[in-house]
């Protein structure tokens, strides 16, 4: 008893001159001296859990990242020329796993979904020789990059889903167990959802993704003249059911950069679909949605219609959808993490941005 009293006195004295972390360690040491081994063990467990909670790093993910090897850079120049776009310095650079790890560390992010550019090599916009061989090379390259840090980098194969080799390539990649998911780009692949044969092919692609328990990232919008309602109805009713329990992420908040009325119409249907309870496995990423301007900078109103503000409209759709179904992405190298977070904080508010950063999508 006397020893216990002395120990309590020592604890009170030390408490005034050490940090809370140090205090816990001192208490643990004293308890091991004067209390039973069982009590000390229980206290150790509680302390360890507490310390893990204190030092746990930000487990944030950039869910939309592109890497570039030399072949992608060369094809990229051809593609920009075809679309009458001017190349920038970033378009001439190669980005590998080391580049991505460095930018994750700088932003205090933990992981990234890194996307193969193989679908570029299957695009009708820029035909290439030995197309399928080049597609395989790109998918294998992205898997090799992810292998340099499998815990932090998740490889996504890609393919033009309309190609005759599409199913075979997905199965080839899936069999290696080196890929977390598949990326589809409807615009680059010239997908037309009003073509019944193409819809049937997409149904097969979604089904094989589900078969191999892969994640699916889809650039859904396929053109400037695009009916948000009609296209989204086909996706939700005719294609998405074939994904089964696959977790599907629709890129760019169902658009392809910026935010317009057709994207807003698509999001309204997606919000209603999510709230119908038909699938809990549908998400959106907010990559490449900004800049939008301010709430006081509306799109020029059409005669006889109410003035439409893109930012106000987007905020309303985010509220309907819920941030638990929206993930963060940059579409690197389009923008970087810190820059985009600042933009989101300014436009959506820090609370909404933080909630989006906290949303997770992992394989089943």
* pLDDT for 29: 44
HEC string of 61-93 equals EEEEEECECHHHHHHHHHHHHHCCCCCCHHHHC
Q: Give me the pLDDT at residue 79, please.
A: 85
Q: Which residues of 205-224 are buried (b: 16+ CB within 10 A; e: fewer)?
A: bbbbbbebebbbbbbbbbee
Backbone angles phi, psi at 227, to 5 degrees: -90, 105
pLDDT value at position 49?
Answer: 42
Domain boundaries, the chain: 2-55, 61-358
Burial state string for 168-179 with b = 16 or more CB within 10 A and e = fewer than 16: ebbeebbeeebb
pLDDT tens across the length of the chain (364 residues): 333 333 333 333 333 333 333 433 333 343 344 334 444 444 444 434 443 333 345 799 999 999 999 999 999 888 888 878 888 888 889 999 999 999 999 999 999 999 999 999 999 999 999 999 999 999 999 999 999 999 999 999 999 999 999 999 999 999 999 999 999 999 999 999 999 999 999 999 999 999 999 999 999 999 888 999 999 999 999 999 999 999 999 999 999 989 999 999 999 999 999 998 777 899 999 999 987 654 555 555 556 566 889 999 999 999 999 999 999 999 999 999 999 999 999 999 999 999 999 999 998 7
Cα–Cα dist 171/165, whole Å: 10
**What pLDDT is recorded for position 45?**
40
What class, spelled out in words, does domain 61-358 have in CATH? alpha beta
The predicted structure's pLDDT at residue 320 = 96
Contacts of 329 (CB under 8 A, 6+ apart): 62, 63, 64, 65, 113, 251, 285, 286, 287, 288
Give this prediction's pTM: 0.82
Residue 34 has what pLDDT?
39
Give the whole-angstrom CA distance, residue 312 versus residue 349. Answer: 12
- CB-based contacts of 250, cutoff 8 Å, min separation 6: 218, 220, 270, 282, 283, 284, 285
């Amino acid at each position: 008893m006397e020893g216990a009293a002395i120990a309590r006195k020592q604890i009170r004295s030390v408490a005034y001159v050490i940090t809370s972390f140090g205090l816990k360690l001192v208490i643990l040491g004293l308890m091991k001296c004067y209390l039973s081994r069982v009590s000390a063990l229980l206290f150790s467990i509680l302390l360890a859990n507490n310390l893990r909670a204190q030092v746990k790093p930000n487990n944030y993910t950039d869910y939309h990242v592109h890497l570039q090897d030399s072949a992608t850079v060369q094809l990229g120049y051809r593609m920009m020329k075809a679309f009458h776009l001017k190349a920038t310095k970033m378009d001439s650079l190669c980005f590998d796993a080391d580049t991505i790890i460095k930018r994750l560390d700088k932003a205090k992010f933990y992981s990234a979904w890194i996307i193969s550019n193989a679908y570029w090599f299957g695009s009708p916009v820029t035909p290439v020789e030995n197309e399928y061989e080049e597609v395989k090379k790109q998918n294998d390259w992205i898997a090799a990059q992810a292998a340099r840090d499998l815990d932090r980098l998740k490889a996504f194969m890609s393919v033009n889903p309309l190609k005759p080799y599409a199913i075979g390539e997905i199965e080839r990649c899936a069999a290696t167990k080196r890929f977390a998911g598949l990326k589809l780009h409807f615009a680059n692949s010239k997908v037309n959802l009003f073509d019944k044969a193409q819809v049937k092919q997409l149904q097969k692609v979604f089904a094989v993704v589900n078969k191999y328990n892969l994640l699916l990232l889809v650039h859904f919008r396929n053109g400037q003249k695009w009916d948000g309602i009609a296209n989204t109805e086909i996706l939700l009713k005719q294609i998405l059911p074939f994904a089964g329990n696959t977790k599907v992420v629709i890129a760019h908040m169902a658009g392809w950069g910026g935010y317009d009325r057709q994207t807003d119409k698509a999001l309204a249907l997606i919000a209603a679909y999510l709230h119908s309870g038909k699938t809990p496995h549908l998400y959106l990423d907010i990559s490449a949605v900004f800049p939008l301007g301010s709430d006081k900078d509306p799109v020029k109103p059409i005669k006889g219609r109410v003035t439409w503000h893109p930012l106000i409209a987007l905020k309303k759709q985010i509220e309907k959808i819920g941030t638990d179904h929206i993930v963060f992405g940059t579409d690197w190298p389009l923008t970087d993490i810190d820059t985009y977070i600042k933009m989101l904080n300014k436009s959506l508010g820090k609370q909404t941005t933080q909630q989006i950063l906290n949303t997770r999508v992992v394989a089943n």
